[in-house]
Structure 1
Amino acid sequence: MIRFAIASLAVLALTTPVCAQDHAAHTAEPDPHAGHVMPAAEAAPGDPASMDRGTVDHGAVDHGAMDHGTMDHSAMDHTSGGEAPPSPGPDMETPPPPQAASGPPRAADAIWGADAMRASRLDLQQTHGDYNLFWFQADRAEMQVRDGADGYLWDLQGFYGGTTHKFWFKSEGEGSFGEAIEDLEIQALYSLAVAPFFDLQAGVRQDLAGPDTTHAVVGIQGLVPYMFEVDAALFLSHRGDLTARLEAELDQRVTQSILIQPRAELNLSAQDVPQLGIGAGIDSFEVGVRLRYEIIREIAPYIGVEQTWRAGRSADFARARGEDPSVTNFVAGIRLWF
């Protein structure tokens, strides 16, 4: 037994240096973090620059001594780049100081001079829309097919001017093929913008077919809610006859190129005007619909149907002339503008 114990101690003594040498060989392997240690001369301990991921000495950090349970992770910046997380509240812009709008309206005149700034303001107005434009539209230029003699009709308008002041011109007329023109009028109007999408108009209207009649005109034209275009006007003739006209139409787009346009027109009179075939009250009422195809925005042929009624004394005047007070027209025409 004694011999066996002595032999075991001899074997243990022989193998112990080999294990120590092997452990030393493992500890002699290169430290993978050794290249990340910044010399003390370049970054002192505690310097914020030394906390960069590329300069942290991971070997010197004692993770076992760190108390992870007491760390406030909600206060840590988890965003990339070290930026603070966005505030959960709404953006709060710094309001302008109270004195920001207390200066004179044309303070630049004191620096650059009134003459220089006057030219600058004029250029600013012109480049932001205060310049004259010319616009022309043939809203309806059509042939009408009906019982009896087929006819034709035109409805033209346009303007020249700026954003608030314009000169408007309008012309309407109709007749039957092979006969004299039944109605022909021309209007020249001054237009003033009085509200967004609305112009107040005033001027003169001249009737060139039938009895020669001149009217003073006052009206309003614009775009009402739901995109209805309206044109309402009062006419006072040189004989003292007062009449009125109200037109409304709506362009309803079906596709990018196809539109449906419902349209209605109401004519009224304050008294009978026998020489014009107009009766007091409702003179006539028109309602129709047109289907339009835009070849390009500016050129669009159309087809449609329109019904016209004469009422009251106006119907009596129409019958006396041998005309039907109720007429259905199938129309085909073109709408264009430039």
Structure 2
Amino acid sequence: MRIIKPCTYTVLSLALASVTQMTMAQDAHHSMPMSAQHELHSSLDSSHQEMQTGIESSQIEHAEHAEHAEHANVSSIASRAASAQHPVDHKREHGGQIYQATEIDSRWLNNADGRGSLKTEIESRIGTDENKLFIKLHADKAESQDADYAAQVMYSRMISDFWDAQIGARYRVDEHQVTDKEQLDAAVGLHGLAPYFFETDAYLYLGAEKQVSFSLETERDLLLTQKLILKPYLNLDVVLSDDSAYAQKTGLSAVWLGLETRYEINKKLMPFIDVAYSYEKGNQHTAWQAETGSEKQWWYGAGVRLKF
């Protein structure tokens, strides 16, 4: 209908004009001399030819439009069919790309007695949004003592928009112990963003000699400015059971509650100061160690965080 309508209007307009002209010409024909009548016939013939030419031109033009529209429809159908047979893979544009990130956190803390401790943590992750590999390294060295080490490797699978389920293993080395210095634990847990934007890691560890423990680390950034940021954090360990030679008391074993204030020089270099309160429940009495009581103390210090 869109193609036929303009053509119909054009034909009717030209026909109406021709009939009007012919009527007027017939009325004047009888009152005109022979020479004028001859000129009038020539004019009518010319108008008739122009009308025919206009109709033919309009028909050709609309036929070309119809042909162009038909070709466009055929091309569109062919394009949709080709897309259905060979769908475009947008996986890389929607989280399918592999990325890598590493964070190094090193801080020196002192307690009220002036005893210092160096804590270093390295976390590296590689993979896609859905599947990642987490590698975590931890070193804790008290002043004038040997360091304790822990390495954790976890496979991480996204289970919702804000949470990953993780499974893997943890390897520990404690130089303070005479026996069983090295321990290997199975680990399962969750990594993600809890309500109110608390970044959270929660793990359950299963080791030899009925060593079962739970750890929770959670923190949140509070922006004072775009570069000056407060970060309250909470780290706690709960011992569910332990029959090892250096067993810890069951229940809430250790708590670190702190407030970190950092200044982001850029997204790769971030120095900070730290104030924290700690609680440690102590160890059980075994053949290899004496029972120890709980300790509560304040810590303060500074450190630097690197990201790349």
Bin the TM-score by the shorter chain.
0.5 to 0.7
Higher strand proportion (structure 1 or 2): 2
Q: Does 1:251 align with 2:221?
A: yes
1:277, distance to aligned residue in structure 2 (A)? 4.5
AA in 1 matched with 2:156 = S
Q: Secondary structure at the match of 2:132?
A: strand
Cα separation, partners in 2 of 1:290 and 1:273, compared to 1, 3 Å: farther
TM-score norm. by structure 1 comes to 0.60
Q: Secondary structure at the match of 2:129?
A: coil
1:169 equivalent among 132, 135, 139: 135
Q: Secondary structure at the match of 1:208?
A: strand
Q: Does 1:284 align with 2:254?
A: yes
User: Per-residue displacement from partner, 1:119-151 (whole Å, max 9, x unpaired)?
Assistant: x32xx211333111011112x310111225311
Q: Secondary structure at the match of 1:283?
A: strand
User: Per-residue displacement from partner, 1:76-103 (whole Å, max 9, x unpaired)?
Assistant: xxxxxxxxxxxxxxxxxxxxxxxxxxxx
| Structure 2: tracts of 5 or more residues without a match | 1-77, 176-180
Q: Which residue of 2 aligns with 1:56?
A: none
Matches of 1:205 and 1:109, distance apart in 2: 52
**Cα contact 1:299–1:337 (8 A) shared by 2:** yes
**Cα contact 2:220–2:232 (8 A) shared by 1:** yes
Q: Which residue of 2 aligns with 1:200?
A: 165
Matches of 2:144 and 2:182, distance apart in 1: 22
Q: Which residue of 2 aligns with 1:191?
A: 156
User: Per-residue displacement from partner, 1:1-50 (whole Å, max 9, x unpaired)?
Assistant: xxxxxxxxxxxxxxxxxxxxxxxxxxxxxxxxxxxxxxxxxxxxxxxxxx
Q: Which residue of 1 aligns with 2:125?
A: 159
TM-score norm. by structure 2 comes to 0.66
1:278, distance to aligned residue in structure 2 (A)? 1.5
**Cα contact 2:246–2:283 (8 A) shared by 1:** no
Larger Rg: 1
Cα separation, partners in 2 of 1:175 and 1:273, compared to 1, 3 Å: farther
Q: Secondary structure at the match of 1:226?
A: coil
1:265, distance to aligned residue in structure 2 (A)? 1.1
Q: Which residue of 2 aligns with 1:149?
A: 115
Q: How does 1:291-310 map to 2 (within 5 A)?
A: 291-310=261-280
1:173, distance to aligned residue in structure 2 (A)? 2.1
Matches of 2:263 and 2:227, distance apart in 1: 6
Matches of 1:302 and 1:180, distance apart in 2: 26
| Structure 1: tracts of 5 or more residues without a match | 1-106
Q: Which residue of 1 aligns with 2:237?
A: 267
Matches of 2:214 and 2:122, distance apart in 1: 19
Matches of 2:275 and 2:247, distance apart in 1: 25
Matches of 1:331 and 1:275, distance apart in 2: 33
Higher RCO, Cα 8 Å, sep 6+: 2
Q: Does 1:137 align with 2:103?
A: yes
Matches of 1:276 and 1:256, distance apart in 2: 46
Q: Does 1:334 align with 2:299?
A: no
User: Per-residue displacement from partner, 1:41-63 (whole Å, max 9, x unpaired)?
Assistant: xxxxxxxxxxxxxxxxxxxxxxx
Percent of pairs with identical residues: 25
Question: What RMSD in Å do the two structures reach over aligned CA positions?
Answer: 2.6
